[in-house]
Amino acid sequence: MGRVRFDSADVDGLRIFYREAGPRDAPVLLLLHGFPTSGHMFRDLIPRLSDRFRLIAPDLPGFGQSAMPSRSDFKYTFDAIADRIDRFTEVLALTRFAVYVFDYGAPTGFRLAVRRPERITAIISQNGNAYEEGLSEGWNPIRGYWSDGSAQNREALRAFLKPETTIWQYTHGVSDITAISPDGYSLDNHYLARAGADEVQLDLFGDYKSNVALYPKFQEYFRTHQPPFLAVWGRNDPFFLPAGAEAFKRDMPKAEVHFFDTGHFALETHGAEISTVIRAFLSATVK
C-alpha cells in the first residue's frame, strides 16, 4: 500500500491541490469528484488500489483545497473547469490515463475524453451521468433556473447549499446511516460555508445545462471510440437514476454495469466492494 502524497500544481496561475499515491510508472487513474465534495471523497479508495495503480485526485477549481478565485477573475462554468483539469494533466505530464468520474466529475472527464480520446485508456463512472433518462425529478428546481434565470429562481436553489441538504445527500438511500462517517459531509459543509462559495455553486447549477446539451456529443464519443467502460452505481441515488447507468450499454454494448444498494455517495458505504470491481476491471483492460 503506497503512501498518499499531498501537493499542489500551478495551472496557468491557478493552484490545483491534489492527492496522489502509487508507483510513478504504474497505469494512471485520474479521480474526479463532484458536488459539493473534493478529492477527500477518495480517501479510502486510493489506498485500496495504490499497490497496482498511480491514483491522482485533484480538487476542482473552487472546491476543497484548490484555489477559489473570485467570480470576476474566473468564470465558473464546466468548460472552464475542464480546461483547467485538462491543463492539470499536462502540467503533471499525464499522457495516458483512465478516468473515474462522479457527479460533476462526469461532465468534466467526458469533456476531456471528447477533446483528446487518444489519452483515455478506460472510464469508470460512479453516479456520473450522460443521459437524459438518468436525471431524476430532483433536478426540477435547477431545470427551472435554466429556463428562467431570475433572481427568485436562483435564490430558490440555496436550499441545495444548506448543511442539512449535504447530510441528506450522504444518507439518502442508505440502509444503515451509522455506516456514514460524519467527516465527509462536515468537511463539505466547511467548504460550502466559505465567503463567496455559495455564488460559485449557484453559477455552476446554472451552467449544468451545458452538460445536458453535450449529452449527444458524449454519446457520440462512446459509440465511436468504445472505451473500456465500467459503471458502479448507487442504486438509490436521488439525483442520478439507475436508468442512466444502464443507458451506457446502449452506446457501448461491452460496458460493465454494477449496482450497489446505497445512495449518491456510494464509496462511503461500499468502498471495499467498488474497489474490488475496479481492480478487476482495470487489471483486465489497462496495461
User: pLDDT per residue over 38-80, tens digit each?
Assistant: 999 999 999 999 999 999 999 999 999 999 999 999 999 999 9
What's the count of helices (H) and strands (E) in the chain, helices before strands?
11, 8
Number of domains the chain is built from = 1
What value does the CA radius of gyration of the chain take, rounded to a whole number of Å? 18
- Distance, C-alpha 187 to centroid of its chain: 17
| 258 counts as catalytic | no
- Does residue 197 sit within a domain? no
Q: Which residues contact 107 (CB under 8 A, 6 or more apart)?
A: 78, 82, 208, 210, 211, 214
Residue 2 clears pLDDT 70, i.e. is over it: no
What mean pLDDT do residues 194-210 have? 98
What's the CATH code of the domain at 19? 3.40.50.1820
- Does residue 99 sit within a domain? yes
Residue 1 clears pLDDT 60, i.e. is over it: no
- Does residue 122 sit within a domain? yes
- Does residue 161 sit within a domain? no
Catalytic residue among 33, 40, 172, 264: 264
How confident is the model over 108-136, as pLDDT tens digits? 999 999 999 999 999 999 999 999 999 99
Q: What type of residue is 66?
A: S
First and final C-alpha spacing in the chain? 19
Whole-number Å distance between alpha carbons of 106 and 102: 5
Cβ pair 75, 83 in contact under 8 A: no
The 3-state DSSP class for residue 211 equals helix
- Does residue 174 sit within a domain? no
Q: Which residue has the higher pLDDT, 2 or 170?
A: 170
- Does residue 47 sit within a domain? yes
pTM, full prediction: 0.98
- Does residue 22 sit within a domain? yes
Structural domain of 132: 5-137+211-285
- Tell me the pairing of strands 54-58 and 28-32: parallel
- Does residue 94 sit within a domain? yes
Locate all alpha helices (DSSP H) within the chain, ordered by sequence. Answer: 45-49, 78-91, 105-115, 140-147, 151-156, 163-171, 182-192, 197-213, 215-225, 242-251, 267-285
Whole-number Å distance between alpha carbons of 276 and 278: 5
What mean pLDDT do residues 225-244 have? 98
